[in-house]
Structure 1
């Protein structure tokens, strides 16, 4: 059996605990960007579910947007849904709130409670790929599983 990095194993254990059988895999090279991950997996960049952490200005709470790899998050769109201002989250904030480094933030298993939004564009694919706690670790899932696992709200992000 393949031994996963500690942060990736945490995600694998959580996936099983949630009742799913999705397998975390580690790529030989970085999957830090959607383009790198898609190249390694031989899939469309749009099938990469990239996790982007923002900071709510009012409360300093983390907000996760799980976006299709080809989409740029329109922060104004998310601010309208939240009725609050979004700020940039630096690497320290991301690690502090999620327990993961940028480039490896999984959509689940965060240290603190995270408000989660899911890009509606991901719903058109039968399978998508998300980071699994480490820049080289990923797992395959369906958009339905992503919604169930994260309890995220599907929104238009662009």
Structure 2
């Protein structure tokens, strides 16, 4: 079970007790925000995309109110932003849809943090199940996720500056 893998991962870091499990679903940004009693933007959603190989994928961790910008994604990663299907998600991340997280993933899953997260002191990523989360500072999230780098591939999370 994926939550057990993530708990074991955090146990090795001395943080297993910080993993929260809920009696209700936290499978979507809205449900997670409700379960945690926080604004949806503070939910750190992990979105899984095809990479350039069958055994690899790109994981983008972004704020709950951010949407992936296809143009920015293609410019940064050199591939079209095509999300994995349900079967591919489980095979390439080890987590089911609704519980995909940036922790305890197979080596072929490369994790990137979107800058939309950096406006918050702490955020709440899932922990491998559709009813779990952990509260982390952005630098902790980056470290524990073994992120490759911070990226700017999302839109919709900041006010557009007026052109004048």
Task: Tell me the TM-score normalised to structure 2 length.
Answer: 0.85
Instruction: Detail structure 1 runs of 4+ shifted over 6 Å in the superposition.
Output: none
- Note the aligned Cα RMSD (angstroms): 1.6
1:127 corresponds to which of 112, 119, 122 = 122
What is the CA–CA distance in structure 2 between the aligned matches of 1:131 and 1:108, rounded to whole Å?
Answer: 9
TM-superposition CA deviations, 1:107-132 (whole Å, max 9, x none): 11113421211111211211110111
Q: 1:3 matched to which residue of 2?
A: none
Q: 2:21 matched to which residue of 1?
A: 26
Bigger radius of gyration among the two: 2
Please state how far the C-alpha of 1:88 moved relative to its aligned partner. 2.4
The verdict on how the C-alpha distance between 1:21 and 1:104 changes in structure 2, with shifts beyond 3 A counting, is closer
What is the CA–CA distance in structure 2 between the aligned matches of 1:9 and 1:59, rounded to whole Å?
Answer: 28
2:82 corresponds to which of 87, 109, 126 = 87
Q: 2:131 matched to which residue of 1?
A: 136
Please state how far the C-alpha of 1:50 moved relative to its aligned partner. 0.4
Tell me the SS of whatever aligns to 2:62: strand
Tell me the SS of whatever aligns to 1:86: coil
Please state how far the C-alpha of 1:98 moved relative to its aligned partner. 1.1
Please state how far the C-alpha of 1:20 moved relative to its aligned partner. 4.3
Tell me the SS of whatever aligns to 2:98: coil
Contact 1:32 1:104 in 2 (8 A): yes
Ranges in structure 2 where 5+ consecutive residues have no aligned partner: 155-164
1:73 corresponds to which of 59, 68, 76 = 68
Tell me the SS of whatever aligns to 1:87: coil
Aligned length: 152
Please state how far the C-alpha of 1:74 moved relative to its aligned partner. 1.1
Q: 1:117 matched to which residue of 2?
A: 112
